[in-house]
Amino acid sequence: MKISEIFYSVQGEGSWVGYPMAFIRFQGCPFRCRWCDSEYTLDFHQGEETPLEEVMRRVEAFGVKRACITGGEPLAHLRDFKTLVLALKELGYWLEVETSGGYRLPWDSPVDCWVMDIKCPASDMEKYNKYEELPRLRPQDQLKFVVVDRADFEFSLDVLRRYRPKCQVLFSPAFGELQPDVLADWVKRDAPEARLSLQLHKYIWSPALRGV
């Protein structure tokens, strides 16, 4: 499977922020979001071909039973993704999967928590959103909007009104583009059932640092 990196850190965003996790980052993504913060994962020709056994060996060495599968876009590698999920679940891992929102979710995979983006207009990737997945998200899943301006926020509110997802809703400011206090005020006033989600790892470590 094509892997960008495997590392051990704390989850930097979302409902499980602060929890130590093993991170498995797939290499390659077909989308080109303007606010992508891991551009080094986009090219399918980069990364390292890594056997499943080696992935598992490196993950098990961390000694933690929580893992986050991310990218790139993990669902662009569907066969390898499903194989990895099953291997991790057989060893008792709790699994969180971060996905761009441009793919239908493989509900036959035993994932404990899906973290699905819906791309806002400023990302230039809105046309790829799989809105039909939103009513299928479970209470333990997460739906994330990365917001750069008020137009993005209004778009997000409209999506929530139309699809009424049952999961946790997250609003994140595009790092360096929207001040967190501005988005916090919008969430307090207009989306009080949602949650403000900052990228904690970028405040603890350098935003340019990989493997954190």
Per-residue model confidence (pLDDT) at position 201? 77
Residue tagged 């990218």 (tokens): 71
Q: Is residue 177 classed as helix, strand or coil in its secondary structure? A: coil
Look at the chain and report how many structural domains it folds into: 1
pTM, 2 dp: 0.93
Strand order of the β-sheet with 168-173 is 48-49, 2-10, 20-26, 66-70, 94-99, 113-117, 142-147, 168-173, 195-196
Which residues, at least 6 apart from 209, have a Cβ–Cβ distance to it below 8 Å? none
**Residue at 99: amino acid letter:** T
Does the residue 73 lie in any domain? yes
Domain CATH for 162: 3.20.20.70
pLDDT in tens, the chain (212 residues): 999 999 999 999 999 999 999 999 999 999 988 777 778 888 999 999 999 999 999 999 999 999 999 999 999 999 999 999 999 999 999 999 999 999 999 999 999 999 999 999 999 999 999 999 999 999 999 999 999 999 999 999 999 999 999 999 999 999 888 999 999 999 999 999 999 999 887 777 766 667 66
Does the residue 62 lie in any domain? yes
pLDDT digits over 36-77, tens only? 777 888 899 999 999 999 999 999 999 999 999 999 999 999
Of 156, 137, 136, give the one whose Cα is nearest residue 196: 156
Does the residue 9 lie in any domain? yes
* Cα–chain center distance at 46: 20
Does the residue 209 lie in any domain? no
Distances (CA, A) of 172 to 6, 66, 72, 169: 24, 23, 19, 10
Please state, in angstroms and rounded to a whole number, the distance separating the CA atoms of residues 131 and 42: 23
- In the chain, beta strands by DSSP E: 2-10, 20-26, 48-49, 66-70, 94-99, 113-117, 142-147, 168-173, 195-196
Residue 167: give the domain boundaries. Answer: 2-204
Does the residue 10 lie in any domain? yes
Does the residue 210 lie in any domain? no
Does the residue 117 lie in any domain? yes
Does the residue 211 lie in any domain? no
Please state, in angstroms and rounded to a whole number, the distance separating the CA atoms of residues 195 and 132: 22
